[in-house]
Chain A
């Protein structure tokens, strides 16, 4: 039992990968209304940069954060917000908060 648990930490389960994809999809849906460069959404992935690729106004990044908080029922503190520049950053923060 115990060794199985350790194993599962090393090999991501299919469920886990599915979760990551689902989270990324939800992030995409959340940011869409604020995107000023729509072609940036075509290849939406971990490295998609909210300000550089999607040209989201910096004052709207907080709206994105509030929507993420509501969608995932988490609270994003100032320190986490600091590093939320890409879709991948947002995904990691969400996964982290959901674990706690």
Chain B
């Protein structure tokens, strides 16, 4: 399973971001240490938040979990940083999700995944109908008429792709923040 999260860096995450009351509700002590030992705490805070969000989406989808606001149950870390990519992982219970992120001047995008299947990633900087974009992408990839495709959310607000009335076992994830929208779509190995 996969999850993704995009963050528009032009939007201040929170006015309280550097207060301990705020931090202690969102981040574990190890995470706070990493954030405040980094060159840009404000950016790395948002990076770790995006890891947690991406992993939450993958985890919720994997087990069809009901929604919960439990960021402290997701422990994130970044262990490798190059100019182009930051690699890390998020642990929750017994589950581990590998993450990869990019930080650009105006946004952060993170992907969390349980496996290493290939995926397609698209990030948009202008307001866009994300559902339509993912349907178009899927329609092109598998040569299915777009009018046969739709997206519906289940009882836990998790989105699924349908072909007519058939629910497809296709793994994907959406994210919106500020002017940014992003999706990832796993490719089926057939």
Residues of A within 8 A of B (CB): 51-52, 57-63, 65-66, 78, 81-85
Contacts and interface: CB of A to CB of B under 8 A. Distances in A.
7 contacts: A59-B26, A63-B16, A63-B22, A66-B22, A66-B25, A83-B68, A84-B69
A82 B13 contact: no
A89 to B, nearest CB: 10
Contacts of B177: 57
Interface in B1-49: 13-16, 21-22, 25-26, 49
Q: Which 10 A-B pairs have the closest CB atoms?
A: A82-B70, A62-B25, A59-B13, A82-B68, A63-B14, A78-B72, A62-B26, A62-B22, A59-B49, A81-B69
Nearest to A65: B25
Given A82-B70, A85-B67, A66 B13 contact: no
Given A62-B26, A78-B70, 16 more contacts: A52-B157, A59-B13, A59-B14, A59-B49, A62-B14, A62-B22, A63-B14, A63-B22, A66-B21, A66-B22, A78-B25, A81-B25, A81-B69, A81-B70, A84-B69, A85-B69
A57 B70 CA distance: 14
B15 A63 contact: yes
Interface in B50-98: 53, 67-70, 72
**A interface, over-half SS:** helix
A38 to B, nearest CB: 17
A84 B72 CA distance: 14
B75 to A, nearest CB: 14
A58 to B, nearest CB: 7
Contacts of A66: 16, 21-22, 25
A65 B19 CA distance: 14
Contact of B69 (A52, A57, A82): A82
Contacts of B72: 78
A2 to B, nearest CB: 40
